[in-house]
C-alpha cells in the first residue's frame, strides 16, 4: 500500500489537539488483512492460544469470504495507544480512520470507566497480553497441552464473571470474623458485661473463622483462583491472566455505543475541518463515513438490529447540537452505555431514528410493540448487563470442599440453559477438583440443582 496517509497523521493530530481532543500518543501500524482479522478474533494483537478462538476465526473467515465484514482499524488504548490499520485501506479511508482512532484515543484517556480499569490493568495491555501468551506457552511446555487446555477451558468459560468494582489485585477475605469487642463498645454492652464478667470475657477471647465466601461472590475467576482447594500455582496464574484481560475488555464492552459514536463524531468533524485534505480524498472519505454510520435498515425497510456506530453517532450529534461540546465532553467522561442511553436517547431522537421495540417468538414471529421509551432503553441495553453474562455467584464452600454456585434468576428473569451450564460445571470442576453444585430455576420456575461430577 502507499504510505501517503502517514504524511497526514501529524496534521490530523494537530487539528484534533486544537479541537480539544486529549489523547496519549498513538502508534500507527499498517498490517495485512489476515492479521486484522486475527486481531478482531482474539481481541488483542497477541493473545493466549485456545481452540475456541479457532472456531471464531473460521466464522470470521467465512464471513469475510461472503464479503460481510470489512475491518478498517483496530485500536488499543494505552500510553502509547496502538492502532492497526488494514493495509488494503485507500488513502481516503486511512485519513478517516486516523481521525477515528484519535477519537477513540480521546475517549479511552478521559472516560472514567476506561481510566479506572486502565489504572488497574496498566496502560500497556497489549504487552501484558503478549506476556500472558508467553507464560501459557511455557505452561504448555512444562505441563502438556491437555492440562493447560483444561485450565483455559474453565478460565475462558468464566471470562465474563469478574467484578470490576473490586480492585484487580484484590486481597483475600479476612481469615477471621471481626473481633466483637471492637463492635461492642457502647453503653449497653458495657453494662451487660458488668453483669457477668466471666461470661463476657470467655465469649470475646474465641476468634471465629469467617465463612468463605463471607458474601455471594460474583468474581468467579478470582474466587476460584484464590480458594480452589487443590489448584496448582501455574493454574491460578492462568486464571488471573484471563481475569486481567477481562478487566481490560470490560470498558470496551460497556461503552461500545458511546465510544464508537464518539470516534465517528470526531472523524466526521475533523474531516470537515481538515482543509489540507485533497478534494477527491475528502469525497471518498465522506462516502466511507456514511457507510460506517449507516443504519442497518438503510436498504431494507426494517432491521432487527441497530448499528452501534449509527446510534452513537446520531446521539452525539444531537447532544453537541443541543448542549454544546463542553457538555458532550462531560458526558463522555462520566457515562457508560447504560447512563448514556438512558439519559440521552430521548423520545424525540428515537422517533427521528425510527427505533422500535419488538418481541420475537421462538417460532420466528416478530411483533412490533408500543412505543415506550424506558422499555426501548432496556431492549437496547438488556444484553449488556453484567458483562453480558448471567448473574452467577459463589455462595458457599462446604466442609468437604464442595463449591456452591447460585444463579440469581430474580435479576435475570429466567433460569439458566441447563445443558450449557452443566458443561461449564464440568470445565470448572476439573480445576476445583471437588464437587460443584449450581442452583438455578427450571422452566416452571422451581429450584433446580445441577451437580458435577
166-170: long-range pairs with CB below 8 Å, 24+: 166/219, 166/222, 167/120, 168/120, 168/121, 168/243, 168/244, 168/247, 169/120, 170/219, 170/222
Asked if residue 2 lies in contact with residue 25, where contact means CB atoms within 8 angstroms, the answer is no
Match 425510527 to its residue by C-alpha cell: 354
Q: What is the layout of strands, in order, in the sheet containing 73-76?
A: 26-31, 81-86, 73-76
Q: Interaction with other proteins in 186-215: which residues (CB under 8 A)?
A: none
Residue 58 interacts with other proteins (CB under 8 A): yes or no: yes
> What is the Cα–Cα distance from 16 to 134, expressed in whole angstroms?
37
Cβ count within 10 A of residue 214: 10
Minimum distance from residue 176 beta carbon to other proteins (Å) = 32
Q: Interaction with other proteins in 138-177: which residues (CB under 8 A)?
A: 153, 156-157, 159-161
Tell me the site size for other proteins, rule CB under 8 A: 94
Nearer to other proteins, 99 or 424 (CB): 424
Cell triple for 57: 476465526
Nearer to other proteins, 96 or 380 (CB): 380
Minimum distance from residue 387 beta carbon to other proteins (Å) = 7
Label the pairing between strands 436-441 and 403-407. Answer: parallel
For residue 209, give the nearest of 179, 166, 239 by alpha carbon: 179
**Which of residues 229, 324, 339, 382 is near other proteins by CB under 8 A?**
382
> What is the Cα–Cα distance from 38 to 233, expressed in whole angstroms?
30
Q: Which stretch binds other proteins (CB under 8 A): 26-34, 97-105, 227-235, 266-274?
A: 26-34
For residue 43, give the nearest of 60, 30, 63, 26 by alpha carbon: 60
Minimum distance from residue 59 beta carbon to other proteins (Å) = 5
Nearer to other proteins, 199 or 304 (CB): 304
Q: Interaction with other proteins in 263-322: which residues (CB under 8 A)?
A: 295-297, 300-306
Cβ count within 10 A of residue 80: 16
**Which of residues 66, 194, 383, 444 is near other proteins by CB under 8 A?**
383
101-140 footprint of other proteins as x/- string (CB under 8 A): ----------------------------------------
Q: Interaction with other proteins in 403-422: which residues (CB under 8 A)?
A: 407, 412-418, 420-421
For residue 266, give the nearest of 110, 112, 122 by alpha carbon: 110
Residue 81 interacts with other proteins (CB under 8 A): yes or no: no
Q: Which stretch binds other proteins (CB under 8 A): 51-59, 169-177, 208-216, 276-284?
A: 51-59
Nearer to other proteins, 200 or 252 (CB): 252
Residue 392 interacts with other proteins (CB under 8 A): yes or no: yes
Minimum distance from residue 302 beta carbon to other proteins (Å) = 3
**Which of residues 12, 26, 41, 292 is near other proteins by CB under 8 A?**
41
| Cα dihedral across residues 223, 225, 226, 229: positive or negative | positive
Q: Interaction with other proteins in 237-266: which residues (CB under 8 A)?
A: 249, 252-253
Sorted by sequence, the CB contacts under 8 Å of residue 383 that are 6+ apart come out as none
Nearer to other proteins, 31 or 184 (CB): 31
Q: Interaction with other proteins in 340-379: which residues (CB under 8 A)?
A: 353-371, 375-376, 378-379
Minimum distance from residue 49 beta carbon to other proteins (Å) = 6
Amino acid at each position: 500500500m502507499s504510505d501517503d496517509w502517514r504524511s497526514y497523521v501529524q496534521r490530523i493530530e494537530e487539528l484534533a489537539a486544537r479541537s480539544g481532543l486529549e489523547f496519549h500518543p498513538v502508534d500507527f501500524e499498517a498490517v495485512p488483512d489476515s492479521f486484522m482479522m486475527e486481531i478482531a478474533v482474539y481481541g488483542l494483537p497477541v493473545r493466549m492460544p485456545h481452540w475456541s478462538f479457532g472456531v471464531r476465526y473460521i466464522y470470521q473467515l467465512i464471513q469475510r469470504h461472503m464479503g460481510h465484514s470489512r475491518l478498517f482499524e483496530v485500536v488499543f488504548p494505552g500510553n502509547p495507544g496502538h492502532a492497526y490499520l488494514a493495509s488494503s485501506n485507500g488513502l481516503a479511508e486511512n485519513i478517516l480512520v486516523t481521525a477515528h482512532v484519535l477519537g477513540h484515543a480521546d475517549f479511552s484517556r478521559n472516560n472514567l470507566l476506561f481510566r479506572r480499569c486502565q489504572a488497574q490493568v496498566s496502560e500497556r495491555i497489549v504487552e501484558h497480553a503478549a506476556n500472558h501468551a508467553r507464560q501459557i506457552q511455557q505452561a504448555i511446555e512444562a505441563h502438556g497441552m491437555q492440562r493447560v487446555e483444561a485450565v483455559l477451558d474453565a478460565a475462558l468459560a468464566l471470562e465474563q464473571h469478574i467484578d470490576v468494582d473490586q480492585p484487580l489485585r484484590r486481597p483475600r477475605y479476612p481469615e477471621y470474623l471481626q473481633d466483637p469487642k471492637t463492635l461492642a463498645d457502647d453503653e449497653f454492652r458495657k453494662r451487660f458485661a458488668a453483669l457477668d464478667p466471666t461470661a463476657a470475657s470467655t465469649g470475646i477471647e474465641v476468634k471465629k473463622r469467617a465463612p468463605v465466601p463471607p458474601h455471594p461472590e460474583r468474581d468467579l475467576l478470582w474466587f476460584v483462583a484464590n480458594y480452589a482447594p487443590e489448584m496448582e500455582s501455574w493454574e491460578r496464574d492462568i486464571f488471573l491472566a484471563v481475569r486481567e484481560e477481562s478487566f481490560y475488555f470490560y470498558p470496551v464492552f460497556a461503552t461500545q455505543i458511546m465510544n464508537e459514536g464518539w470516534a465517528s463524531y470526531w472523524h466526521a468533524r475533523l474531516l470537515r475541518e481538515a482543509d489540507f485534505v485533497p478534494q477527491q480524498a475528502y469525497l471518498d472519505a465522506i462516502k466511507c463515513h456514511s457507510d460506517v454510520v449507516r443504519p442497518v435498515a438503510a436498504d431494507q425497510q426494517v432491521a432487527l438490529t441497530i448499528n452501534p456506530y449509527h446510534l452513537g453517532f446520531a446521539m452525539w450529534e444531537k447532544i453537541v447540537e443541543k448542549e454544546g461540546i463542553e457538555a458532550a465532553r462531560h458526558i463522555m467522561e462520566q457515562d457508560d452505555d447504560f447512563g448514556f442511553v438512558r439519559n440521552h436517547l430521548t423520545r424525540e431522537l428515537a422517533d427521528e431514528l425510527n427505533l422500535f421495540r419488538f418481541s420475537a417468538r421462538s417460532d420466528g414471529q416478530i411483533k412490533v410493540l408500543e412505543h415506550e421509551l424506558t422499555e426501548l432503553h432496556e431492549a437496547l441495553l438488556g444484553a449488556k448487563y453484567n458483562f453480558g453474562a448471567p448473574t452467577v455467584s459463589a455462595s458457599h464452600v462446604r466442609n468437604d470442599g464442595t463449591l456452591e454456585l447460585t444463579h440469581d434468576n430474580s435479576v435475570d428473569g429466567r433460569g439458566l440453559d441447563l445443558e450449557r451450564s452443566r458443561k461449564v460445571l464440568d470445565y470448572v470442576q476439573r480445576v476445583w477438583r471437588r464437587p460443584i453444585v449450581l442452583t438455578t430455576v427450571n422452566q416452571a420456575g422451581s429450584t433446580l440443582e445441577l451437580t458435577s461430577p
